[in-house]
């Protein structure tokens, strides 16, 4: 009998189940150990595995459709040079180190959020290599943005004007071509020389009358005065002597306008009278179209048309052939029309301003009677005046802000707003050089402002201080 196999030997034997009679013990050779590696797992086609890194495939992109990349050339096949050129072009605009534009590249940069424009303070900013100064690279000439003109916010001179009335319907200040300022104070008229600061008392109407309007001739030697009793007087300023006296109005003559030798006067009696200083008659014609007091009058620069404004909210335009009917009747204003000004730059362009209930500056083409524009100023419009040097105008205002505004025409952008008067700015006149304006108000002051560009040959008045026109002292 054979002994039982050991544990090691049993591991090296394999018993086979053979048919009966053939069973025997077989000894097999040892089999070496094998490290089994399972086969790779086959991923189902319906599932996609994503990693945390995304590598784009440019072969399926549509950059070629937008001409953003070059078509690869045979000798550059498989290189990254085209892709690097695209990145440089989109980030820097040109090939690095060449100074020539990349080709082809879309003008709208991919990595830019908005179009950049040169800064007004630096007109040359934004020019690329190879571009000339003043060119935008597209064959068009770009104009550098001009810095806005600085307008002083304070007056350079203040005159004390006691007894200057706070009456919307009067016109008590005018500046002559000979640089003399006429001011009506109570019953008297004073002349102030802007050249010498000398004050002269021209006349005194007496206790039973008062000054309602003053207006110089265009030559500046004669001054017309409208009185509270309805008279119109003509004075020679060089001799301080009255040379004519016209009657015809039933009550005060509050507005005057010269046209060569013809003087027009508007009154509370609703009429406009035409006076000719060459004939002895008091007036040669009468315009009766307003239904209330006439408070605005201006002749056009060619002396062909007369614009009148009234307390009936109407703006009328007359000519020398007019009798009882104006050639234009403009009724868009909803308050009294005192502020009237003809443009010195465009024939037939008329500006008008409405009172407290209107507050608008309106522009008219008197050739066809159409309103060109309307601007709500927010305050009562008391006066308008155009600058003869540039296409700008100034307006003065009453309720409720008592301000002075400078406008750019035709955009009507506001260039400056000036304050200082404590009452309505009822009076306005322009210096002969067109640079300075003087404003008057019921606060009994006259203020001088440098608001318009000065002419090259003119010298602005630069005196300072406060001068009393009705008194003999300076303070």
What CATH number does residue 303 fall under? 2.130.10.10
pLDDT greater than 70 at residue 101:
no
Categorize the per-residue pLDDT at 45 as very low, low, confident or very high, splitting at 50, 70 and 90: low
The pLDDT score that the predictor gives to residue 82 is 78
Give domain status of residue 262, yes or no: yes
Average pLDDT (175-186) is 97
Q: Can you read off the two tokens belonging to residue 245? A: 């006296």
The confidence score (pLDDT) of residue 43 equals 54
pLDDT (tens digit per residue) in 50-86: 556 666 665 555 555 545 545 554 444 455 777 888 8
Find the radius of gyration of the CA atoms of the chain.
Answer: 46
User: Has residue 50 been placed in a domain?
Assistant: no
In a domain, 83, yes or no: no
Considering the domain boundaries, does residue 107 fall inside one?
no
pLDDT for 35: 53
Is 28 part of any domain?
no
Asked if pLDDT for residue 370 goes beyond 80, the answer is: yes
pTM of the model: 0.68
Q: How confident is the model at residue 87 (pLDDT cuts 50, 70, 90)?
A: confident
pLDDT at 88: 77
Top pLDDT among 136 and 369 is at: 369
Q: Is residue 22 part of a domain?
A: no
**Boundaries of domain holding 161:** 157-468
Residue 58 lies in a domain: no
| Domain count along the chain | 1
Give 372-417 pLDDT, tens digit per residue: 999 999 999 999 999 999 999 999 999 888 999 999 999 999 999 9
181 located within any domain: yes
Q: What are phi and psi of 157, to 5 degrees?
A: -155, 145
């Amino acid at each position: 009998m054979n002994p039982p196999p050991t544990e090691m030997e049993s591991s090296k034997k394999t018993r086979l189940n053979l048919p009966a009679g053939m069973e025997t013990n077989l000894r097999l050779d040892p089999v070496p150990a094998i490290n089994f590696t399972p086969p790779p797992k086959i991923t189902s086609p319906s599932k996609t595995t994503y990693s945390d890194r995304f590598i784009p495939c440019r072969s399926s992109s549509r950059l070629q459709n937008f001409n953003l990349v070059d078509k690869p050339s045979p000798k550059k096949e498989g290189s990254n040079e085209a892709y690097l050129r695209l990145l440089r072009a989109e980030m820097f605009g040109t090939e690095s180190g060449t100074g020539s534009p990349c080709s082809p590249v879309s003008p709208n940069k991919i990595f830019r959020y908005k179009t950049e424009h040169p800064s007004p303070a630096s007109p040359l900013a934004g020019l690329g290599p190879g571009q000339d100064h003043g060119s935008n690279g597209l064959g068009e000439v770009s104009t550098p943005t001009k810095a806005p003109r600085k307008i002083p916010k304070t007056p350079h001179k203040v005159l004390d004007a006691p007894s200057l009335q706070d009456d919307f319907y009067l016109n008590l200040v005018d500046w002559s071509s000979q640089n003399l300022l006429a001011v009506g104070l109570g019953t008297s008229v004073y002349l102030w020389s802007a050249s010498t600061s000398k004050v002269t008392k021209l006349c005194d109407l007496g206790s039973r009358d008062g000054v309602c309007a003053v207006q110089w001739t265009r030559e500046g030697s004669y001054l017309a005065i409208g009185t509270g009793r309805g008279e119109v007087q003509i004075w020679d300023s060089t001799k301080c002597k009255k040379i004519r006296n016209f009657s015809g109005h039933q009550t005060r003559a509050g507005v005057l306008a010269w046209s060569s030798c013809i003087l027009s006067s508007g009154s509370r009696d609703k009429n406009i009278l035409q006076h000719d200083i060459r004939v002895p008659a008091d007036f040669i014609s009468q315009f009766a179209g307003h239904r209330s007091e006439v408070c605005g009058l201006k002749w056009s620069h060619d002396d062909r048309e007369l614009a009148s404004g009234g307390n009936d909210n109407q703006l009328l335009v007359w000519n020398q052939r007019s009798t009882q009917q104006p050639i234009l009747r403009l009724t868009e204003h909803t308050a009294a029309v005192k502020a009237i000004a003809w443009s010195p730059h465009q024939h037939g362009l008329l500006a008008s301003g409405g009172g407290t209930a209107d507050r608008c500056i309106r522009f008219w083409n008197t050739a066809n009677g159409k309103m060109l524009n309307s601007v709500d100023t927010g305050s009562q419009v008391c006066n308008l005046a155009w600058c003869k040097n540039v296409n700008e105008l100034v307006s003065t205002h009453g309720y409720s802000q008592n301000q002075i505004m400078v406008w750019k025409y035709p955009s009507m952008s506001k260039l400056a707003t000036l304050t200082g008067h404590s009452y309505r700015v009822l009076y306005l006149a322009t210096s002969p050089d067109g640079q300075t304006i003087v404003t008057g108000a019921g606060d009994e002051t006259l203020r001088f402002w440098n608001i318009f560009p000065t002419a090259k040959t003119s010298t602005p008045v630069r005196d300072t201080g406060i001068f009393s026109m009705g008194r003999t002292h300076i303070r």
